[in-house]
Structure 1
Amino acid sequence: MDFIFYPFESFFRTVNFVVLLVEILLIVLWIGFAVNSKRTSVIAFTSAISAVIFLASLMMGNPVVSFVFLAVLISLMANTIKIVNEYQRGVLLRFGKFAYVVGPGINVIMPFGIDRLLVVDLRTATIDVPRQEIITKDNIPVMIDAVVYFNVFQPELAVLKVQNYFNATSLLAQTILRAILGKYDLDDILAKRQELNEMLREELDRATDPWGVKVTATEIKSIELPEEMKRAMAKQAEAERERRAKIIRAEGELQAAEKLSEAASIISKNPGALQLRQLQTLSEIAVEKNSTVIFPLPMEIFKFFAQKQDGSEG
């Protein structure tokens, strides 16, 4: 009988040895991750659990029991090893109390509900503020869309001081948007959009600072006016354009009158200049062959012929 079960006993020992070797590799890896986290409590916990599992497997000498302890070890590693990305930070709560902020990389925490890791994203996030109906200072209803850019700069405050910092920031942005824009006339809202954006950013950043949230920018995307107001503004713009056109036309006539007056003053000093101007005008209008040209003669010609006739009669 001993001869028959000897090969099976050798096989079981080999399997048990392989399982123990795998346990050693996993334990070394687990403790290495714990040492990398630089937390004394985590290092002590992983070392103690690893020693208990390895010694129990070694003392039992049974491959089935070793497989059970190996499964327990793998389960513990899966529950305690947490990976935090570069753009994230983890807020670790131990027994419900804030312990520390976990950095990026592979981190080891305690299992069995002792530690709880809450991951916070540090990248810039955007909030599309829902369309808000605002009554301006001059009692004009307008619909305004806005967008808010923010990021978390203190993860522990974003977790401990507010239940949901994203929703809280969104609701606060809607409230501040209505409160600030309601203090201005419609013309100021349309003309001073950049100043209002900066004012909104400062007020929102001041309110979210205790939550560890930094508001980097706010932008008013669109301002929708009532149809009656659009027609009134169109009429106003049209009237303004007509006023400018009339002023420009009047200024042109004034400048033309001034130049004509200067030209008349120059021509009046030399009678021959008037004759040359008449000949030039005649050459310009003679280009059109189908036109009838009535050309005035100077009074001096009639005087010349009258004097010549009086001389011949005498």
Structure 2
Amino acid sequence: MKKDAERLQMSTSGKKQRQPMRSALPFAIFLMIFVAAILGGAAGDNYLIVIAGFVVALLVSQSIKVAQQWEKAVVLRLGKFHCLAGPGIFFTIPVIDTTPFWIDQRIIATPFNAEQTLTKDNVPVDVDAVLFWMVWDAEKAALEVENYREAVSWAAQTALRDIIGRTMLSEMLAGREHIDNELQEIIDKRTAPWGVTVQSVEIRDVIIPEGLQNAMSREAQADRERKARIILGSVEQEIANSFLEAAKIYGDNAIALQLRSMNVMYESLKERGGLVVVPSQIADAAALGSCLGLQLQTKQKSKTDERQEE
């Protein structure tokens, strides 16, 4: 509910017509002339001076206009376009000239969105985006379209729906930059006749249904598990090939096999210690009896030598 209210506020903020800032200079001039007329009329005891001063003050104040640095005023004379005025102070003819439009020429950020729009693969998505644009021709913005702010907002929203309808969900999630550039070209082409240029378009968020999010999460998890099993199988294959090559070497060389058997026993005794029971076939194959006998004789001889020395 909160998300819907936020989107509604974002959508309406881009369509709201901003009121231009007005200067207090015309009102100050009106007061100065009118007060001077009152003082002059009171001094000469002539009320006609007061009335004439009020009319002059009103006409002068109505003829003086001040445009801010970032805006242009569209002046119509008897209903027809006369000129663009501003920024700064300018003068108009009261009653004959009117300034119905004050065009802001700064860069404007307009949020827009597309709700429950189907992608090319029939997936409903909600997309939020921001449009950065500015008025480069104030005359066209005032005369070619009724409300250029609202028109830009609607053009951006329809272009976004069109892009979503011919884009796959995977492309939308992975290629936002490409979609941003395409949106900018489409919107700029539509708004150029109105004197509006698009600076950039940025997609803020792409929301997909919760059920689809869970399905995509399970799919990604299954894909990762599949890759892990493939890697494990390739490792097992490499180990099996290594064992196969080692078996060929041991089959061709009996001494190598004996050395390997003795090394295995040595490593077992070295790491764990204790008693090792060796089957007779393995002992015969490794000639362990002869080795142990030689080892025993060597130990006995060393003990005899020690006694003789004593």
TM-score normalised by structure 1 residue count = 0.68
The 3 A distance-change label for structure 1 pair 222 and 274 is farther
Which amino acid counterpart does residue 97 of structure 2 have in structure 1?
A: I
Matched residue type, 1:99: H
- Provide the identity percentage: 31
Equivalence for 1:18: none
Q: Are the structure 2 counterparts of residues 232 and 293 from structure 1 closer, same or farther at C-alpha, using a change threshold of 3 Å? A: farther
Where do 1:52-201 residues align within 5 Å? 64-201=47-184
* Partner AA of 2:149 in structure 1: F
- Quote the Cα distance in structure 2 between the aligned partners of 1:181 and 1:103: 41
Q: Which runs of 5+ in 1 are unaligned?
A: 1-25, 31-49, 309-314
Q: What do you get for the CA RMSD once the two structures are aligned?
A: 3.4
- Deviation of 1:207 after TM superposition, in Å, equals 0.6
Distance 1:303 1:286, change over 3 A: closer
Say if 2:240 is the partner of 1:257. yes
How many pairs were matched up? 252
Q: For residues 107 and 266 of structure 1, what CA distance do their matches in structure 2 show? A: 101
CA offset at residue 246 of structure 1?
0.8
Task: Find the aligned partners of 2:103 and 2:146 in 1 and give their Cα distance.
Answer: 13
Q: What do residues 247-302 of structure 1 show as CA deviations (whole Å, max 9, x unaligned)?
A: 1112222333344455556666583586267437634664346x765566462425
Partner of 1:211: 194
Structure 1 position 220 matched with structure 2 position 203: yes
* Equivalent position amino acid for 1:247 in 2: I
SS at match of 1:110: coil
Q: Deviations over 1:149-202 (max 9, x none)?
A: 111110111110111111111112221211221112222222222211211111
Partner in structure 2 of residue 232 of structure 1: 215
Which residues of structure 2 form unaligned runs of 5+?
Answer: 1-24, 295-310
**Aligned equivalent of 1:43:** none
Rounded Cα–Cα distance in structure 1 between residues aligned with 2:199 and 2:288: 89
How far the C-alpha of 1:77 sits from its partner, in A, is: 2.8
CA distance in structure 1 between the aligned counterparts of 2:265 and 2:110, rounded to whole angstroms: 73
- Letter of the 1:143 partner, please give it: D
Provide the secondary structure at the position in 2 that maps to 1:138. Answer: coil
Deviation at 1:118, TM superposition (A): 1.8
Distance in 2 (alpha carbons) for counterparts of 1:195 and 1:282: 65
Match of 1:299 among 262, 281, 285: 285
Farther-moved stretch of structure 1 (101-110 vs 155-164): 101-110
